[in-house]
Amino acid sequence: MTSARSRAHMERHRTDRIGWLRAAVLGANDGIVSTASLVAGVAAAHASHGSILTTAIAGLVAGAMSMAAGEYVSVHSQADTETADLERERVELRTDPAAEHRELAAIYVRRGLDASLAREVAQQLMAHDALGAHAHDELGISTVLSARPVQAALASAGSFAAGALLPLLVVLLAPGEWLLPWLCASTLVFLAGLGALAARAGGAGMWTGALRVTFWGALALGITWGVGSLFGAAV
């Protein structure tokens, strides 16, 4: 009979979520806040319901494309930097492996190993995968945290569209004279839920996450509403 101690020790970590979670939370938050703020600003300027609806749809489409393009470009820049650094390490390993061994051993000494053990560890790791050892321990590049531009772009665009769809549905369903109160109340509820969900997925406190996201969303909503009211009164 296999005992509990002999079973493989399995741990679940949240670092493998960092890439997509950051992009998804940013996209959904931006989708809710920017679309709701646009609608609030236009509605506060006494625009027609048709104009408000068009604004919400245009904000969803334009925002999703902007998020995808911006995320892809920024994350691809990170990927390009990682590729360049890895190529430099590959050349240095080929031309001066002894110096690279000393460099890796010095890293392990700084982490607490004695010099002889550090040299032995560096030697064994480089014999197994020299480039992988330097990528992880010298450059800080890992398979979990490495840049994935397409994944980040799709996560941002999809989550933005999902977030923007919520205020769009409010525009479609809310009575005309109650549009702004419904929009503001529902937006704060959406943001609080998003903040709590993101915090739970990341292992943080749900109340803190909810309050943080809701505060900044409410600030953006209030400022845009104020600007719309100002320009609407001036027309």
pLDDT top residue among 53 and 149: 53
pLDDT tens for residues 7-38?
554 555 444 445 556 667 778 888 999 999 99
Query: Which pLDDT band, with edges at 50, 70 and 90, does 235 fall under?
Result: very low
Query: Which pLDDT band, with edges at 50, 70 and 90, does 165 fall under?
Result: very high
Of 32, 28, 11, residue with least CA distance to 198? 28
pLDDT tens for residues 44-102?
888 888 899 999 999 999 999 998 898 888 888 877 888 888 888 889 888 988 988 99
Question: What tokens were used for 29?
Answer: 């938050």
The radius of gyration computed from the CA coordinates of the chain, to the nearest angstrom, equals 25
Helix (H) or strand (E) holding 211: helix 206-234
Rounded average pLDDT over 213-224 = 86
* Rounded distance between C-alpha atoms, residue 55 and residue 35, angstroms: 8
Sole residue written with tokens 């479609």: 172
* Rounded distance between C-alpha atoms, residue 86 and residue 80, angstroms: 10
DSSP tag of 138: T
* Rounded distance between C-alpha atoms, residue 67 and residue 107, angstroms: 38
* Rounded distance between C-alpha atoms, residue 145 and residue 38, angstroms: 34
* Rounded distance between C-alpha atoms, residue 85 and residue 83, angstroms: 5
Q: Chain-wide mean pLDDT for the chain?
A: 81
Domain boundaries, the chain: 18-91+150-226
